[in-house]
A = this chain, B = another copy of it.
Amino acid sequence: MSQSITATAPATLANLGSGFDVLGLALAGDGDTVTARRLRGAAGVHIEAIEGDDGRLPTEAAANTAGVAAIETLKLAGFTDVGVALTLKKGLPLCSGLGSSAASAAAAAFAVNQLLGGPLRKIELVGPCVEAEAVVSGRHADNVAPALLGGLVLVRSLDPLDLVRLPVPEGLTLAVVTPDFDLPTADARAALPDAVSLQTMVGATAQIAALVSAFWSGDMSLLSRGLTDSVVTPARAALIPGARAAMAAALDAGALGSGISGAGPSLFALCRSNRGARAAMDAMAEAFADAGLPAVGRISPADCPGVRLI
């Protein structure tokens, strides 16, 4: 058994198109980093330090996604007598819709599993990370699955867990823009309708079916047509100043489609190329500026790796 393991997990974009709680993908760039260290003479998970959260995250393991993911990983692997100390370095902003809680969970689960000698396969870490997400933002796997596995992941079922890796057409690139606006995940969830009409359900199934077909075929026009969502995106866009204008600006700038990343307030635009993504990013940032919100943008290929050791 190793003495200390450090892992980093990326930002993720969930709720792609009509794929609320169903479709997510890994993003490039800095993520969250967790170091797991063996504690002698003590069982359980202890969070020793958290950097980069401005003191906002709980250090109690059972209330922190890194802590819960570590606890559940130890439990699943049958190592409940082992003591683990975690240090968490947040690279991702909290409550931004970039899968910050999922990244912490994925990095912690992966680091702890490696510390134990790797008894679990990567895909088996999804379950512990879903339990971690459930503590802070509801049971869903469309952030933790791509944070662990990388790429574009379809969550067919949560119980039992059933994940499908989807192909990503060459060149497909994301612009993600995060406005300086606080939108707690709980508020974003509360904005959703409890029920939808049967007709709306039919529309959502038609959209996601077209989107998945476009990922397989590489038909960028179909991908664009299939990327809309009439349920979750409109409900949440109303909560984010400038969001509607920013999404429209991304389309005007040539993006295939646009939407809210995760629970928001970050927005994404899916684009044919890196150059197109830069134009969409600038257009979205400008729309947020017009609404009085400074914003930070990032560009990412649509097919990026998940968690890794560092």
Instruction: Name A's B-contacting residues (CB within 8 A).
Output: 18-23, 154-157, 162, 164, 166, 192-198, 200-202, 204-213, 216-217, 222, 225-226, 231
Contact = CB atoms under 8 A, between A and B. Distances in A.
B210 A213 contact: no
Contacts of A202: 20-22
A23 B206 CA distance: 8
Given A195-B196, A216-B213, A207 B156 contact: yes
Number of copies: 2
Given A166-B213, A212-B213, A204 B205 contact: yes
A285 B284 CA distance: 59
A201 B197 CA distance: 9
Contacts of A208: 205, 208-209
Contacts of A201: 196, 200-201, 204, 231
A21 B206 CA distance: 9
Contacts of A226: 156
A150 B6 CA distance: 55
Most buried by B among A19, A156, A192, A204: A156
Contacts of A164: 209-210, 213, 222
12 contacts: A20-B205, A23-B209, A154-B209, A154-B213, A156-B210, A193-B198, A195-B195, A195-B196, A196-B198, A204-B204, A209-B211, A213-B216
A205 to B, nearest CB: 5
Contacts of A207: 156
Contacts of A157: 206, 225
A225 B19 contact: no
Most buried by B among A164, A196, A206: A206
A192 B20 CA distance: 23
Given A196-B198, A205-B205, A210 B154 contact: yes
